[in-house]
């Protein structure tokens, strides 16, 4: 199901022709009729001008890139893609069927960047809330955000609904920074350089192991 459309200004929005210019180099078979079909299937929800013309944001373009990649490289039917998009819009990072342990975030391109306004539109967060999250060190202090920030901000909003605000989560950020330092030391001790492909793979493996240990400790504490 497509994301709910929210009103925004026309600045920075693209026409169908401009979207095709951006994507056809990678997806030669993309056409206006295919874009309209994906909209009919509720996988995308471009905005409409008063005259009825479709207008696409940068987030819409990268959502299209993701859909087309899942079709071409993972041979997924639109029904499955719709389910994955629903999971992603809910702030989760679903595993791609048949490609475990690869998840949606693993195939998002570096071009999948969002302005603060787009981040607000996708999550419903206020500019003030984003500022509070940045001040607490939970989001990067920038005006351009990687797409995975959507999931992070969605989680922060849900926590805030339960009374756990960004201010309360400062210890979480401090703990994560300590874990990152620990992982970095372990990677170097294994002879891998931080930032190298091998070092990054080792770091991700260690981070996954720490997540498992942390989750176990948390579950036991909550079960008392």
Q: Chunk the chain into consecutive blocks of 10 residues (it has 224) and report each block's average pLDDT, rounded to whole numbers.
A: 46 82 86 92 91 88 91 89 91 83 73 78 91 93 79 91 95 91 88 71 82 88 82
Torsion of Cα atoms, 4 then 5 then 7 then 13, to 10° = 140
Q: Is 146 exposed, middle or buried (0-12, 13-18, 19+ CB in 10 A)?
A: middle
Instruction: Give the domain ranges of the chain.
Output: 16-110, 112-164, 165-224
Helix axes 58-74, 32-40, angle to 10 degrees: 90
59 and 111 Cβ atoms separated by less than 8 Å? no
CATH of domain 16-110: 1.10.1660.10
Residue 1 is predicted with a pLDDT of: 57
Torsion of Cα atoms, 163 then 89 then 109 then 34, to 10° = -160
User: Is residue 101 reached through a cis peptide bond, with omega within 30 degrees of 0 on the bond before it?
Assistant: yes
Residue 195 is predicted with a pLDDT of: 62
123 and 150 Cβ atoms separated by less than 8 Å? yes
């Amino acid at each position: 199901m497509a994301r709910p459309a929210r009103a925004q200004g026309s600045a920075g929005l693209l026409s169908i022709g401009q979207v095709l210019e951006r994507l056809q180099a990678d997806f030669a078979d993309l056409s206006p009729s295919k874009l309209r079909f994906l909209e009919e299937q509720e996988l995308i929800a471009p905005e409409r001008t008063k005259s009825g013309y479709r207008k696409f944001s940068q987030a819409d373009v990268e959502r299209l890139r993701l859909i087309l990649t899942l079709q071409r490289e993972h041979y997924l039917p639109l029904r499955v893609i719709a389910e994955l998009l629903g999971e992603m819009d809910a702030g989760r990072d679903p595993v791609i069927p048949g490609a475990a342990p690869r998840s949606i975030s693993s195939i998002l391109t570096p071009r999948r960047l969002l302005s603060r306004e787009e981040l607000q539109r996708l999550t419903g967060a206020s500019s003030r809330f984003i500022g509070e999250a940045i001040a607490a060190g939970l989001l990067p202090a920038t005006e351009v955000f990687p797409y995975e920030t959507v999931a992070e901000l969605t989680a922060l909003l849900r926590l805030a609904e339960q009374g756990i605000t960004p201010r309360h989560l400062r210890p979480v950020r401090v703990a994560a920074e300590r874990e990152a330092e620990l992982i970095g030391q372990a990677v170097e001790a294994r002879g891998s350089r931080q930032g190298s492909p091998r070092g990054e793979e080792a770091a991700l493996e260690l981070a996954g192991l720490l997540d498992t240990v942390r989750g176990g400790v948390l579950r036991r504490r909550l079960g008392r």
